Amino acid sequence: MEESSAPTSKKGAKKAEAKAKKEALKAQRAAERAAAQVADIDLEDDPAKDNYGRATSPTFTPDTPVVELSSLDDSYDGKTVVVRAWLQNSRIQSAKMGFVELRKGGNWTIQGVVMATISGTGAETQLPAEGTPLVSRRMVKWTTAINPESFVAVEATVKRPLEPVKSCRISGLELHITKCFVLAPAPAVLGMTMAVANQPVVNFSDETPSAGDADKAKEPEAAAESGTPAASMLTHLDNIAMHKRAPVQQAIADIRVEVKKLFRSYLEERRFKEFEPPCLIGAASEGGANVFKLAYFGQEAYLAQSPQFYKQFEIAGGRERVFGIGPVFRAENSNTPRHMTEFTGLDLEMEITHSYTEVLHTLEGVLLHILRTVQERCADEIETVRAVYPSEKILLPEPGKEVRLTFAEAQKLLREEGPAEFRDVRDDEDMSTPQEKALGAVVREKYKTDFYVIDKFPETARPFYAKLDDSGATVGDGVRVTNAFDFFIRGQEILSGGQRINDPEELEARIRAKGVDPESAGIKEYLTVFRQVGVPPHGGGGIGLDRVVAWLLALPSVHLAAGYPRTPKRLLP
Ligand code: ATP
């Protein structure tokens, strides 16, 4: 079902927009002033001049270890280290002392202190005792005027601060900087500051603003509730590096990597083998209209809208149990928080020994393993995301208490316990998105889980390759049910799967019954494979990686879970 992505936090945005504008302007002026001051500094006669400046290959004290912020701990107290990081903030306390905040590895931050050891100026200059590093007042001024988001390398002594530094993740240590070099400067004015980048995105519309509104769209908007400056997805994507640098996006990206890893490792431990389906195909694979066409040496080619046929070719080819992780393309003009024109599919297909429930249980097993383990392995990252996008912890069923409803049972539940508007939902018609969401709320309340399965979909809601239930069971006006299911997280679909037809005659009959020509390009070759060899009973499923990540974290849009979201109106960056 189509639904439009309505901008969130519209109300109140105007009022706070003025505040945001004022703040942005203030920040810009301060940055320009600081940049001008730095330009004025003559480093030549500074005794500490070799200890700071712009450098591509700076010199540090020999044998000083380069340390990642994430590995700094109390064992470094008193030691000298080199740290490479982004400078995200700075302030000058006095002519002799300043502070910087360094960030690296997602959201690892630490306070740096830069304190002059050389006193006096000009003829009055007094150098410190032999062996003390040279830090001049000019170095203090220069260091604290570095533009935020510049990449720096510092040499520093690790010390315990007098008081814990609450603003930094590493609060129990600080860096006493004795050398500071800018390896890559950021401009004086950023397109989006870190403070804005790490706020929730306030509007997911891809509409390009009209000429008059273009500048407005790029300015920080405002999160109506807090009044804190925040920006639209458009602004985030136009500032892709800052979008990605924000700790919240770093955490989402790390969780995504972990989900993929867990999918692969769980299946490999159960005899599944990875395969790679093609993305370029010669015919619209499932006969649908939602495929991207492209020119291909005088012919037409298409981008695969699913690896479905190829997963089945693997089974026909004797690969027994396969999985694939790769891009899937959909030429659907669906401008919703759930859809993208390119997403990542986690797919599997397996032989069936006795029943299609083997497939259902394998898919349930892999997803519950992912959802449980990711919460242990990515506890910090999940907290980082929650701090920006608050959410309730996902409820998962106890082992052995998984919720599996038939489609008819789910519709009954919705009729009886859902909102009044769904009193008349039918057992032989597919669910709409609002129905799915309402059912999610009912299931959560009744079964205390955000993860559940709906099985036995009516054949009207499934593609031609879905195997009909052998018992001949029907719903509604005599519609047969299939051995096919969908999985849901928080009332939103994340997986479609089921048993596939493996008998060529049955398959051809279903293809015809669905109004598809069995002789049409792609379908003919698909059907031929089942005639060429005996294909064992099999089934599988396709999971949308982006949706798993997004709904696990209860993000407002799947676009936040993708590195570079592709939508009908957006192909860049
Ligand atoms: P929907 O009804 O939500 O559009 P679908 O029924 O077309 O999804 P399938 O073709 O069954 O979805 O694809 C399998 C899985 O791939 C879905 O459960 C979902 O997780 C994911 N998926 C499908 N379409 C998209 C999309 N446009 N963007 C992101 N993920 C998608």
Please write the tens of the pLDDT for every residue from 408-464.
999 999 999 999 999 999 988 889 999 999 999 999 999 999 999 999 999 999 999
CA of 15 to the centre of ligand 1 (A): 38
How do residues 449-458 score in pLDDT, each as one tens digit? Answer: 999 999 999 9
Helix axes 247-268, 545-552, angle to 10 degrees: 120
Q: Active site includes 538?
A: no
With b meaning 16 or more CB within 10 Å and e meaning fewer, what string describes 290-318? Answer: ebeeeeeeeeebbbbbbbbbbbbbbbbee
Band (pLDDT 50/70/90 cuts) for residue 224 is very low
Tokens of 424: 């008349």
For the cut 90, the answer to whether the pLDDT of residue 407 exceeds it is: yes
How do residues 498-514 score in pLDDT, each as one tens digit? Answer: 999 999 999 999 999 99
What is residue 16's three-state secondary structure? helix
> What's the rounded mean pLDDT across residues 3-18?
45
C-alpha span between 366 and 376 (Å, rounded): 16
Question: What is the per-residue pLDDT for 124?
Answer: 77
Share of residues in the chain with pLDDT > 70 (%): 88
Highest mean pLDDT among 210-214, 226-230, 489-493: 489-493
> What's the rounded mean pLDDT across residues 482-490?
98
For the cut 80, the answer to whether the pLDDT of residue 73 exceeds it is: yes
How do residues 340-373 score in pLDDT, each as one tens digit? Answer: 999 999 999 999 999 999 999 999 999 999 999 9
Band (pLDDT 50/70/90 cuts) for residue 48 is very high
On whether the 41-184 domain is CATH 1.10.8.100, my answer is: no
C-alpha span between 95 and 41 (Å, rounded): 14
Nearest CA among 562, 572, 493 for reference residue 344:
562
Helix axes 357-377, 247-268, angle to 10 degrees: 140
Question: What is the per-residue pLDDT for 68?
Answer: 98
Q: Which of 339, 510, 538, 570 is catalytic?
A: 339
The per-residue DSSP string of 509-538 comes to HHHHHTT--TTSTTHHHHHHHHHHSPPPPE
Average pLDDT, the chain: 91
Protein residue with least CA distance to atom 16, ligand 1: 544
Q: In Å, how far are 5, 150, 214, 234, 562 from 207, measured between CA atoms?
A: 10, 32, 11, 8, 19
C-alpha span between 349 and 363 (Å, rounded): 10
Nearest CA among 174, 245, 173, 238 for reference residue 209:
238
How do residues 203-219 score in pLDDT, each as one tens digit? Answer: 998 876 555 454 444 44
Q: Active site includes 330?
A: yes
Torsion sign, CA atoms 515, 521, 525, 526: negative
The per-residue DSSP string of 34-73 comes to HHHHHHH---TT-TTGGGEEE-SS----TTPPB--GGG--
In eight-state DSSP terms, residue 409 is H
Q: Which of 320, 332, 409, 417 is catalytic?
A: 332
C-alpha span between 179 and 358 (Å, rounded): 62
Q: In what order do the strands lie in the sheet with 280-281?
A: 280-281, 299-303, 293-296
573 cis-preceded (ω within 30 degrees of 0)? yes
> What's the rounded mean pLDDT across residues 481-497?
97
How do residues 519-545 score in pLDDT, each as one tens digit? Answer: 999 999 999 999 999 999 999 999 999
Alpha helix segments (H runs only) across 225-356: 233-238, 240-245, 247-268, 308-316
Question: What is the per-residue pLDDT for 219?
Answer: 46
C-alpha span between 389 and 215 (Å, rounded): 27
C-alpha span between 312 and 540 (Å, rounded): 9
For the chain, the domains span 10-26+191-245, 41-184, 248-561
CA atoms within 13 A on the CB side of 304: 17
Instruction: Answer for the pair 345, 306: CB distance below 8 angstroms, yes or no.
Output: yes
Question: What is the per-residue pLDDT for 428?
Answer: 87
363 lines ligand 1 (CB under 6 A): no
C-alpha span between 142 and 164 (Å, rounded): 26
Q: Active site includes 90?
A: no
Share of residues in the chain with pLDDT > 90 (%): 82
For the cut 80, the answer to whether the pLDDT of residue 289 exceeds it is: no
On whether the 248-561 domain is CATH 3.30.930.10, my answer is: yes
Q: Active site includes 332?
A: yes
> What's the rounded mean pLDDT across residues 55-75?
96
CA of 397 to the centre of ligand 1 (A): 24
CA of 439 to the centre of ligand 1 (A): 18
Highest mean pLDDT among 56-60, 223-227, 556-560: 556-560
Nearest CA among 36, 247, 55 for reference residue 155:
55
For the cut 90, the answer to whether the pLDDT of residue 21 exceeds it is: no
Band (pLDDT 50/70/90 cuts) for residue 24 is low
How do residues 99-156 score in pLDDT, each as one tens digit? Answer: 999 999 999 999 999 999 998 777 778 888 888 899 999 999 999 999 999 999 999 9
CA of 101 to the centre of ligand 1 (A): 42
546 lines ligand 1 (CB under 6 A): yes
For the cut 50, the answer to whether the pLDDT of residue 176 exceeds it is: yes
Question: What is the per-residue pLDDT for 123?
Answer: 74
Band (pLDDT 50/70/90 cuts) for residue 270 is very high
Lowest mean pLDDT among 167-171, 180-184, 215-219, 364-368: 215-219
> What's the rounded mean pLDDT across residues 191-205?
95
> What's the rounded mean pLDDT across residues 226-235?
85
Q: State which H helix or E strand residue 380 sits in.
A: helix 379-388
487 lines ligand 1 (CB under 6 A): no
Q: In Å, how far are 308, 309, 314, 548 from 504, measured between CA atoms?
A: 16, 14, 16, 34
Protein residue with least CA distance to atom 28, ligand 1: 339
Protein residue with least CA distance to atom 9, ligand 1: 496
Beta strands in 279-403 (DSSP E): 280-281, 293-296, 299-303, 321-329, 342-351
Question: What is the per-residue pLDDT for 26?
Answer: 72
CA of 428 to the centre of ligand 1 (A): 20
Q: State which H helix or E strand residue 102 sits in.
A: strand 97-104
